[in-house]
Amino acid sequence: MESLLLDVPFVCKSWYKASLDPCCWQRLIFPNVSFFGRFVNEYRIDDWKFSTSAFIKFVVSRSKGHATVISLPPFASEADLKYVSDVCGDLKVLAFHGDEPHVIPKLIGKWKHLEWLMLESGDDFEEILSQISIHCKDFCGLCVSNDVFCTGEAMAIVNFLPKIKQLIFRRVEIGRDDLMALLLRCKKLLLLEGSDCIGFSPD
């Protein structure tokens, strides 16, 4: 995304035209905060006029609705997520780093092709998984960060996503019994990653 916005368009008119092709915007990994300062400077935008939501809409519009992978910036709002859901009907991978994903269960019905979901916390976790089991037949991977897992959440994975293939926990507190339940009852599990997690012995 950084190259497409700040480097390629300034090479020549042909490269600028090529950078507008929707095929270049199917994978939207929004960069860190420092990028936005560079973007504002490069395009000579007044700081007070810059809007994160407007930037997200600007980038998503470049894909013409065909973006399949989207990782929203940490400060993206639920309104931004709603916009992405309305525009991108082919979404396969979504990373939402907001700490209040209450709107997600209501939006999952629009994500028929969703295969991977990355969440910053487990709020409304069981309802999210319930909706995924109903609407997302190709779903195979889940990543959860910065959460304290309870037995109910672990069992929700077992009950709603018994055929899940990949589970990633980052900075999650999860008990040994819950971890063992996932290992024993998710028969299709190919990958289980737990980085910077606590609550169980690695042995």
CATH of residue 39:
3.80.10.10
- DSSP helix/strand/coil, 108: helix
In the sheet that 141-148 helps form, which strands lie side by side, from edge to edge? 27-29, 69-71, 93-96, 116-119, 141-148, 166-173, 191-195
Q: What is the pLDDT along the chain (203 residues), one digit of tens a residue?
A: 888 888 888 889 999 999 999 999 999 998 877 787 888 887 878 877 788 888 899 999 999 989 999 999 888 888 899 999 999 999 999 998 866 568 899 999 999 999 999 987 666 889 999 999 999 999 999 999 888 787 788 899 999 999 999 999 999 888 999 999 999 999 999 999 988 988 887 66
Q: Please report where in the chains the tokens 């930037």 appear, as a residue.
A: 55
In a domain, 8, yes or no: no
- Helix then strand then coil, in percent of the chain rounded to 5, is 45, 20, 35
Phi, psi of 98 (to 5 degrees): -65, 155
In a domain, 5, yes or no: no
Cα–chain center distance at 18: 27
Q: What is the pLDDT of residue 3?
A: 86
Query: How many CA atoms lie less than 13 Å away from 181 in the CB half-sphere?
Result: 18
Whole-model pTM: value is 0.86
In a domain, 178, yes or no: yes
The beta strand positions in 1-131, using DSSP E, are 27-29, 69-71, 93-96, 116-119
In a domain, 129, yes or no: yes
Q: What is the pLDDT of residue 99?
A: 61
8 A C-beta contact, residue 62 and residue 34: no
Which structural domain, as residue segments, surrounds residue 171? 25-195
In a domain, 31, yes or no: yes
Q: What is the pLDDT of residue 97?
A: 80
In a domain, 2, yes or no: no
Phi, psi of 46 (to 5 degrees): -65, 135
In a domain, 20, yes or no: no
In a domain, 201, yes or no: no
Q: Please report where in the chains the tokens 């396969």 appear, as a residue.
A: 92
**Count of the separate structural domains present in the chain:** 1
Q: What is the pLDDT of residue 100?
A: 58
pLDDT tens profile 128-182: 999 999 999 999 999 998 887 877 888 999 999 999 999 999 998 889 999 999 9
